[in-house]
A and B are shown apart, each in its own frame.
Chain A
């Protein structure tokens, strides 16, 4: 019963996502020309201004370390937390008293 319901809702979600991924109703793929300007204006800004504003010629590193450097700090924290967590959980058990 539960499994059937779960499978049905997964199927429903898949259907919705397929509709959303259909260019006639939802997201556009392979943008170019006017549509690029309409949907990817932020990216265009990074491409146009990245070199002069940040100084790196690699746009991705310009974004990841300058425009959105705070996210990278967050990702580093995620990594730090996972390592601290893995070490914490794999430590020896307490001695029996």
Chain B
């Protein structure tokens, strides 16, 4: 039996049944959310495993056995096209969302309106899963909207705090603008090419790369850079992440900016505007899209992002704001990896960079979720996130401090932890491609090191009045942190094995040197 539809059905059913089951009381509601998200995680793991083992792109047509219409040669239905990259992201999304929901049981205990909260968290998870599995560009937009609307609300969920509402409004205005850019891009593509299926759009664009397709690409990438929090347009992120409840910050920072931003950029570049296809066209002197320009634009924004994001993290006094800026910085590394993957397409450096970018997406999702869980535990137990008031937390909250230590060491990229391998791949490839890029990447890491060392010293300092009465949080908050720590350490102990067995195939399938993404669809046509 094909498990793929259940990846959408389960959270959708969970979210839509929550208002009714919520009537049965608080405990039922919480157990239901945990069960649904746990089940989704199991399904995602199964899908990932089956795709990883067969190493083939899974194509599923909604409503028919074949996406191709009767007697014609083009797709007429919505398809899901899941390659390893999509499946890996689905797995990460389901894992972190599950832990965030378990964490919310303890963390959100004092808040009101929790039936809506769990509904919205499940919808957020649904939106992200929908984005990573879809193969249809309008459907991609619909799920980006689902994800965005749920996250606008969750950022402003604490409606009695001024910062929540302010950040929510800012996020909503910026996010809606970005969404409308994306929709405009899609409308232009449809007007020019008459199809919405990504793989078929790739064929059509390669046949006739017009000005319209370039403009549409610019709008799509521009909108998605907003969503991923790249530097000139990162201001919403640094407000939204600190203001949201910490369980939500973990999901926003670990997942939303990756799935709605970086994943989508990579998918649109490699799936629709495949660099290989256009390089090939160029060889024959046919009109093609200059993917090098695109790659350099992404590298430029990546470098800007990793310098500014990490540098701004150093001067923050608010712990969650610091983590938010650090997220901006880490997005810079991922963009740098993707950018090099585009400009050095088909070369060794490009493949390593893409592997590093994919690896870093997963690593950063896990690490940043842990760090925001730590911040949440501190806020929940001590009641402040101002770093100047938090000194000497290590004696009162040793487990939380240990989690922070591991998370911080991993995000800087210290060798026994998982951040090392992914950053190493990005450094290595940028050094191979252009040493200046490697220097910029290392400067970013130096800033990041400075920022986290500062927080660490705060944790280890002399005990302040404020923390004297602090205690460790409850089990539901500690267990997700423990699990994330274990994942970080385990992934850190087997970095090159994971790279070899998982990340390299993922990057290869994303890069699709032979146009596998298109072929998965085209093979249904038969004889073409």
A residues with CB within 8 A of B:
16-17, 19-20, 25-27, 38-43, 45-46, 49, 53, 66-71, 73-75, 77-78, 80-82, 84-85, 87-94
Cα-based distance from A92 to B188 in the complex (angstroms): 44
> What are the 5 closest A-B residue pairs judged by CB atoms, nearest first?
A85-B153, A74-B142, A88-B116, A93-B160, A91-B113
Chain B residues in 8 Å Cβ range of A66: 63
B194 is an interface residue with CB less than 8 A from chain A: yes
> Mind listing 26 A-B residue pairs with CB under 8 Å?
A16-B215, A17-B215, A20-B211, A20-B212, A27-B188, A39-B191, A41-B74, A42-B194, A45-B72, A45-B74, A49-B69, A68-B138, A68-B139, A69-B62, A69-B63, A70-B139, A74-B130, A77-B123, A78-B149, A80-B123, A82-B149, A84-B123, A88-B117, A88-B120, A88-B157, A90-B159
B contact residues, range = 35 or more
Which residues on A sit within 8 Å (CB–CB) of B117? Answer: 88
Evaluate contact between B192 and A89: CB separation under 8 angstroms.
Answer: no
Query: Among B76, B113, B138, B153, which residue has its beta carbon within 8 angstroms of that of A46?
Result: B76
- Chain B residues with CB below 8 A from A67, complex form: 63, 76-78
B74, A92: Cβ atoms closer than 8 Å: no
Choice from B70, B72, B146, B211 contacting A19 with Cβ under 8 Å: B211
Mark B142-179 against chain A: 1 for CB-CB distance below 8 A, else 0.
Answer: 11011001101100110110000000100000000000
- Please determine whether B139 and A74 come into contact, CB atoms closer than 8 angstroms: yes
| Bound: A90/B156 CA distance, A | 11
The residues of B that contact A17 with a CB separation of less than 8 Å are 215
Q: How far is the CA of A17 from the CA of B138 in the complex (A)?
A: 20
Task: Please tell me if B195 contacts chain A, counting CB pairs below 8 Å.
Answer: yes
CA A77 to CA B156, docked complex, whole Å: 20
Instruction: Report chain B residues within 8 Å CB of A42.
Output: 74, 76, 194-196
- Taking a contact as CB atoms closer than 8 A, the residue among B63, B76, B111, B159 that contacts A45 in the complex is B76
Q: How far is the CB of B74 from chain A (nearest CB, A)?
A: 6
Q: Is B469 an interface residue (CB 8 A)?
A: no
Q: Whose C-beta in chain B lies nearest to the C-beta of A75?
A: B142
Given contacts A16-B215, A85-B153, whether A71 and B70 have CB atoms under 8 Å apart is: no
Within the complex, the shortest CB–CB distance from A54 to chain B, in Å, comes to: 10
- B112 close to A (CB within 8 Å): yes
Give per-residue flags for B456-495: 1 if the beta carbon is below 8 A from chain A beta carbons, else 0. 0000000000000000000000000000000000000000
Whether A78 contacts B146 in the complex (CB less than 8 A), given A20-B211, A20-B212, A66-B63, comes out as yes
Known: A41-B72, A74-B145, A85-B149. 17 other contacts (CB 8 A): A20-B211, A25-B211, A26-B215, A38-B194, A41-B74, A41-B194, A66-B63, A67-B76, A69-B62, A74-B139, A74-B142, A80-B16, A81-B153, A84-B120, A85-B153, A89-B156, A94-B111
**Interface set of B (CB-CB < 8 Å, partner A):** 12, 15-16, 19, 62-63, 69-70, 72, 74, 76-78, 110-113, 116-117, 119-120, 123, 126-127, 130, 138-139, 142-143, 145-146, 149-150, 152-153, 156-157, 159-160, 168, 188, 191-196, 210-212, 215
What CA separation (Å) do A74 and B62 show in the bound complex?
13
A87 to B116, Cβ gap below 8 A?
yes
In the complex, what residues of B have CB within 8 A of residue A80's CB?
15-16, 123
Q: In the bound complex, do residue B211 and residue A26 qualify as a contact, i.e. CB atoms below 8 Å apart?
A: yes
B211 / chain A contacts, CB cutoff of 8 Å: 19-20, 25-26
Inter-chain contacts of A87 with B (CB < 8 A): 116
